[in-house]
Amino acid sequence: MTEEWDSDIAAMKLSDPEKNGLQVFRNYSRAFEKRRGEDFLTAVEKEPWDIGDIERIHKVVVEEDPRIVVVVVCAFMDDQIKGMYRRELPEDIPDGKSKLLGAVGPLSRLAQRLQIAYAFGWLSRDLVEDAYHLRGLRNAISHKWDMEELRGRLDVFIENSMSPVEDTLQDGTKLPKDFAKHLDKVGLFRVRLIWISARFYYECLLYPKAVKARLNPVPVL
């Protein structure tokens, strides 16, 4: 009996029985991973997640001056990623986890925390890149006093250094279709920061857990 082969298996220079065996192995692997993913999500849904911090940060994003919002969102991301390391790093690290995150530790700064999270696969690439760019904007704001220069820098940042998440969000399913067309640059900036901060909270909690469960976080989550 010949199996229904995937295109890459069909293209291999193997005998039919060998292709059958490879396809059966792949089918079982997919089925087991799907089941592990379902079990993982069931366990996650039972956790009593507190989203109060998300509600508070989004209130700040909507109401405050955008220059202040940059600093506050970066502080929020820093708290989330530090919490992730405290939860997920092993307890028996020499000198303890606290020194890694301390003032002179190898994970003392947000930039380093983002880099290591990316290296471990504990956060998705596009989110790390957006967070890294936002951190750079925060640093610039912290050392500039000229309001006109800051406003110009913010405009450039919105246009060139942020993922256009509104393209995904404005499909008419959960948000009005093409809603972003009616927003000015600052409004668009706020929408993107709401998305980034919510994803950061979510991924810091669940991405490393999925990786440790030997699951690919992208399809599972």
Number of independent structural domains in the chain: 2
Q: What one-character-per-residue DSSP string does the chain give?
A: ------HHHHTSS--HHHHHHHHHHHHHHHHHHHHHHHHHHHHHHTS----HHHHHHHHHHHHS-HHHHHHHHHHHHHHHHHHHHHHHS-TT-TT-HHHHHSTTSTT-SHHHHHHHHHHHT-S-HHHHHHHHHHHHHHHHHHT---HHHHHHHHHHHHHHSS--THHHH-SSSSS-TTGGGG--HHHHHHHHHHHHHHHHHHHHHHHHHHHHTT--HHHH-
Q: Kindly tell me if the per-residue pLDDT of 171 is higher than 80.
A: no
Instruction: Give the model confidence (pLDDT) of 73-86 as tens digits.
Output: 999 999 999 999 88
Residue 138's CATH number? 1.20.120
pTM above 0.85, yes or no: no
Q: Kindly tell me if the per-residue pLDDT of 172 is higher than 70.
A: no
One domain, residues 74 and 178:
yes
One domain, residues 98 and 25:
no
Mean pLDDT of 193-204: 92
Instruction: Give the model confidence (pLDDT) of 53-73 as tens digits.
Output: 899 999 999 998 888 899 999
Residue 211's pLDDT band (boundaries 50, 70, 90)? Answer: confident
Mean pLDDT of 21-35: 86
One domain, residues 214 and 126:
yes
One domain, residues 20 and 125:
no
- Predicted confidence at residue 36, as pLDDT, reads 85
Look up the domain containing 160 and give its range: 65-220
- Predicted confidence at residue 198, as pLDDT, reads 93
- Predicted confidence at residue 39, as pLDDT, reads 82
Mean pLDDT of 145-159: 71
